[in-house]
Amino acid sequence: MKKILFFVSLMLLPLAANAQIAKFKSVFTLNFIRHIGWPEAAKEGDFVIGVVKDKEIVSWLEKLSEGKKFGFQEVVIKEFKSIEEVQNCQVLFVSSSINFNRHASEIVSKVGGKNTLIVCESEGATDNGAMFNFVVREERLKFEIHKANAAKFGLQISSKLEGMQAAISL
């Protein structure tokens, strides 16, 4: 019986690791917003963080932002099941279940001109319009920053974020 429990727990380890990674991505995403120069238009109404196809990130963002405000704005988390559903958000987290590089032009056009920060987890995403991209390098979770992409959307990324690029060991 002990052997069975041991093997079951070994099989569940990757799930626990994935949950921790989702938690870290959620924490970083929430921290990113504090280091962005947002135009006045983005400071009206609720502060909406949209997530495309990632229930775990949605869950963590909801837990971590519950009852919190960004300035005077309520933080609202919206889950989008597809790219077609994406609308009106200040931050858009595009999960790895969507091939951002293949759908980049569609995603960028959905949020284009709306001061939306695009956060991804796809290799090469910053080459295709994302402002932040989570990557795993040498078994460490890191993020890439692309200030020029942010500037195209009227957003300014603080240089403080470059110093925060400490990696998390997986």
CATH of the domain at 126: 3.40.50
- Is the predicted pLDDT of residue 78 greater than 90, yes or no? yes
- Is the predicted pLDDT of residue 145 greater than 60, yes or no? yes
Q: What is the mean pLDDT of the chain?
A: 85
Q: Please tell me the distance from the alpha carbon of residue 58 to that of residue 49, in angstroms, as a whole number.
A: 9
Using pLDDT thresholds of 50, 70 and 90, give the confidence band for residue 139: confident
CB proximity list for 35: less than 8 A, separation 6 or greater: 157, 158, 160, 161, 164
- Higher-confidence residue of 163 and 76: namely 76
Most confident of 74-88, 100-114, 133-147: 74-88
Q: Please tell me the distance from the alpha carbon of residue 98 to that of residue 78, in angstroms, as a whole number.
A: 17
Residue 39: give the domain boundaries.
Answer: 2-169
- pLDDT at site 160: 84
Looking at the structure of the chain, the number of domains it has is 1
Determine the 3-state secondary structure of 144 from DSSP: strand
Q: Which CA distances in Å does 169 have to 137, 139, 140, 162, 166?
A: 10, 6, 4, 18, 10
